[in-house]
Structure 1
Amino acid sequence: MKASPSKLLAAIFMSSTLVGCSSTIKLEEPPKAQLDSELTMDLQWQIEQADMPNGDTRGLAIEQSADKVFVANSQGFITALQKDNQSRWTDQVLWENRFDEVITAGPSLDGSNLYIGTAKGRLKALNPRNGEMHWQVQLSSEVLGKPTVLGDAVYTRTVDGKVYALNRRDGKVIWVSEHQMPSLSLRGAPEVLPTADMVFVAWETGIIQALSTVSGELQWEARIAIPSGRTDLERMVDVQANMLVQDGVLYALGFHGKLAAINPANGNFVFIKEVSGFRDFVVDEQSIYLVDENDVLYAFDNKSGTQLWKQQSMKNRFVGDLEMYKDQLLVTDAWGYVHWFNKLQGTEQSRYQHSNEYGDGDKIVRAEVDGDSVYLFDGDGLISRYLVRPSNLAQFRKEYGDTWY
């Protein structure tokens, strides 16, 4: 069966390149429904780092501490910013480093280190106070998975199918586990997910593995996607979305695969749903919220897998990774819009367009929620902090109700 054009287009846009391929696509924004927004955003500050012409952003993240925000760029920049609005650029930017190599993963923060991975296969641990390097270690190939930390170990993945556990104090390798890679895959890798006893890894072969935290030995594996079709492109079954553990259940989402709820102790399925996606999803006490490969939003009951709602208004808007904003679902798109959806009904309640100093919207690479604030990182290399508040219309309705006329 041939892959549909919409599936292929979504896959290419997601990563800008398939491994071994490249393509440039001119996008035309789909129409939006009229909306009286209940929320809006006030720009607090905006710092330009450097644009990312190659679009290689899958492993990059916005990391934050109590008073700082850290952002890395594929051009080699890593920047530490003060959260509170400062009057001068030199006060807003606490420090900035640039490395002579592409940063492909991170940053990740623990109590003493800020971790980044590079295209040259180096994992670096920096001092979060000043950006000075604590240590760096050479791994086997390009680092694609954002480093994750648990206890005394930092975990990451490389493009050649290896998982590393390293001592977070000096970078010494504790163990390495290897997996056979397919000939073609989407660009990027989800985070390795460590727990007290097991480390969960998602692979481009559609397989989820549980490895021993101590030794890296395989404990179990479960397949959530089965390759089908004649060509390598049709047979891609990457698991790109970050996995989550909630209330003793492991959740995973595969491209050309399934949404799976898995018993983390033994790898048995709690339930599976026929839905394909590659963006990060979110889980709360009752539901799983995800976007599929065609930008359709779904909510499923997280105990039974029952579909609760389906929303097609974001179709072909190239939706980013999902986030939670208080009791609403926060959705970003390729034209710089932030959308808020009612998580119980799946209806869009608010919309705001993020833009640069010229008023141009740009693809939002990452969004990070912090209370009433939202941090955005876009393809132009702009790092922005917004304060979310009720819109003027919402305030007017609160004061005068619906009978003012």
Structure 2
Amino acid sequence: MNVLNLVPSLRAASAVATLVLLAGCSVLPPSFSLPFFNTAAEKPKPAELQANPNLLGVRQAWTARLGTVDFPMVVAVSGNTAALAASDGTVVTLDAATGREQWRASARSALAAGVGFDGTTAAVVTRDNDLVTFSGGRELWRQKLGALSYTPPLVAGARVFVLGGDRSVTAFDGATGRRLWNQARPGEPLVLRQAGVILAVGDTLVVGQGGRLAGLNPLNGSIRWEAPIATARGINDIERLVDLVGSVSRVGDSVCARAFQAAVGCVDTARGQLAWTQRANGAEGVHGDGANVFGTESDSRVVSWRRDSGQRAWVNERLLHRGLGTPLALGRSVVVGDDFGFVHMLNREDGTLLTRLSTDGSAIASAPVAAGNTLIVVTRNGGVYGFVPQ
């Protein structure tokens, strides 16, 4: 029984000071920083921007306003509709072609994760640990969660699935909010305070648990298979942290993901087997196409790996230390935003710059997404931009 219906599955928060301590269910305060992360040290100077070659004809078609986005927000797309959320709990759907607002609602609390969306139902998680769902601008139901969550819920097959910060998975009835099942696993001492991995592949729920991708039965949460992308190493909990981070690149049964500061790898989800893994030092998710997988490293190198083998195809070092987020493979380009409000469109064949777009000067808050013929970009200051081909 295919209860998931092939729902495709996001910009994550900074790697520094984004660790959550789960032992004793206590959470480190926002001011906490790890001893070896010298946040007061001078940051490397961002690379100077090269002249814009304007090799792609792209224009800004519309703008919209959202509240400040200071949580790991993911723009969810279904058809020509995009669902977005602001930190204050505002949830909005927009027509991607025009930027016109379709409906707006409030979770009545600051958000920790969102947005999950299947075209009808939108779901977010508040910092009060409430899972809240909406349809047509009206709140449907809310349920208290048993664990913190920083990953947008997955809305699929008339159910809502939540990946907890402890990497437990809980399923709820989409219509009533009734809890259907919970699959817990031994908690990791440390996990990331950013979006993890949860998506549907056929009739299997695929989630990231530690350094592994796991395939679950969506009917009861039982594990069908596990495939390791990275293995924990080191002598302390911080060095052993290999949590998988969203978003992922899915093409058919091939799902490729990043393990935080450890590796990028691809899994054949039909067989539940690892295809390949390569060491990589990054904290953002990946995206790709049938030929390549694209990602950004912690120093803002942009890397392309061959999807079939994991071998590097190219590396772009022209955007070093600009705080690049998760890329998007779109047409002939790889689209990636930076901490200065610029959106860089690179040639997917060799990584060279095709064109550069500007927004409001604040950091790009989430991975760019495509809806219909529109590229949608959201900034930390709440600017929403729709770009289309000339």
TM-score interval (norm. to shorter) = 0.7 to 0.9
Alignment deviations for residues 301-355 of structure 1 (CA, whole Å, 9 cap, x no partner): 2112222112212221111111122121111111111111111112112112212
Cα distance, 1:33 vs structure 2 = 2.3
266 and 285 in structure 1: CA distance in 2 versus 1, 3 angstrom threshold: closer
Code of the residue aligned with 2:276 in structure 1: it is F
200 and 15 in structure 1: CA distance in 2 versus 1, 3 angstrom threshold: farther
- The normalised TM-score by structure 2 is 0.84
Q: Which residue of 2 aligns with 1:315?
A: 320
Code of the residue aligned with 2:125 in structure 1: it is G
Q: Which residue of 1 aligns with 2:191?
A: 185
Q: Which residue of 1 aligns with 2:329?
A: 324
Larger Rg: 1
Counterpart CA distance in 2 for 1:143 and 1:75 is 17
Code of the residue aligned with 1:98 in structure 2: it is S
Code of the residue aligned with 1:77 in structure 2: it is T
Q: Which residue of 1 aligns with 2:3?
A: none
Counterpart CA distance in 2 for 1:245 and 1:368 is 14
Counterpart CA distance in 2 for 1:61 and 1:369 is 12
Counterpart CA distance in 2 for 1:202 and 1:291 is 19
307 and 160 in structure 1: CA distance in 2 versus 1, 3 angstrom threshold: closer
Code of the residue aligned with 1:236 in structure 2: it is L
Residue 263 (structure 1) aligned with residue 268 (structure 2): yes
Code of the residue aligned with 1:304 in structure 2: it is S
Q: Which residue of 2 aligns with 1:220?
A: 225
* Runs of at least 5 residues in structure 1 that lack an aligned partner in the other structure: 1-10, 87-91, 356-360, 390-405
Q: Which deviates more, 70-79 or 330-339?
A: 70-79
Residue 63 (structure 1) aligned with residue 76 (structure 2): yes
Counterpart CA distance in 2 for 1:13 and 1:250 is 24
The structure whose residues are more often helix, as a share, is 1
Cα distance, 1:111 vs structure 2 = 4.5
112 and 248 in structure 1: CA distance in 2 versus 1, 3 angstrom threshold: closer
SS in 2 for 1:365: coil
Q: Which deviates more, 312-321 or 23-32?
A: 23-32
Q: Which residue of 1 aligns with 2:159?
A: 153
SS in 1 for 2:313: strand
| Contact 1:241/1:277 (<8 A) preserved | no
SS in 2 for 1:295: coil
Code of the residue aligned with 1:76 in structure 2: it is G
134 and 247 in structure 1: CA distance in 2 versus 1, 3 angstrom threshold: closer
Question: Among residues 118, 130, 151, which one is paired with 2:126 in the alignment?
Answer: 118
Instruction: Give 1:84-233 correspondences, 5 Å limit.
Output: 84-85=97-98, 92-127=100-135, 129=136, 131-203=137-209, 205-233=210-238
Between Structure 1 and Structure 2, how many residues are aligned? 362
Cα distance, 1:99 vs structure 2 = 3.0
Q: Which residue of 2 aligns with 1:363?
A: 363
Q: Which residue of 2 aligns with 1:378?
A: 379
99 and 124 in structure 1: CA distance in 2 versus 1, 3 angstrom threshold: closer
Cα distance, 1:40 vs structure 2 = 5.7
Code of the residue aligned with 1:158 in structure 2: it is G
Instruction: Determine which structure has greater relative contact order: mean sequence separation of CA pairs < 8 Å that are 6+ residues apart, divided by chain length.
Output: 2
Counterpart CA distance in 2 for 1:244 and 1:39 is 24
Cα distance, 1:95 vs structure 2 = 3.5
Counterpart CA distance in 2 for 1:307 and 1:37 is 27
Percent identical pairs in the alignment equals 22
SS in 2 for 1:39: coil
218 and 345 in structure 1: CA distance in 2 versus 1, 3 angstrom threshold: same
RMSD: 2.6
Alignment deviations for residues 356-401 of structure 1 (CA, whole Å, 9 cap, x no partner): xxxxx11011222234422221111122223343xxxxxxxxxxxx
Q: Which residue of 1 aligns with 2:48?
A: 31
207 and 82 in structure 1: CA distance in 2 versus 1, 3 angstrom threshold: closer
Code of the residue aligned with 1:322 in structure 2: it is P
The structure whose residues are more often strand, as a share, is 2
Counterpart CA distance in 1 for 2:221 and 2:348 is 38
Instruction: Give 1:72-83 correspondences, 5 Å limit.
Output: 72-83=85-96
* Runs of at least 5 residues in structure 2 that lack an aligned partner in the other structure: 1-11, 21-27, 34-38
Counterpart CA distance in 2 for 1:380 and 1:117 is 21
SS in 2 for 1:276: coil
- The normalised TM-score by structure 1 is 0.81
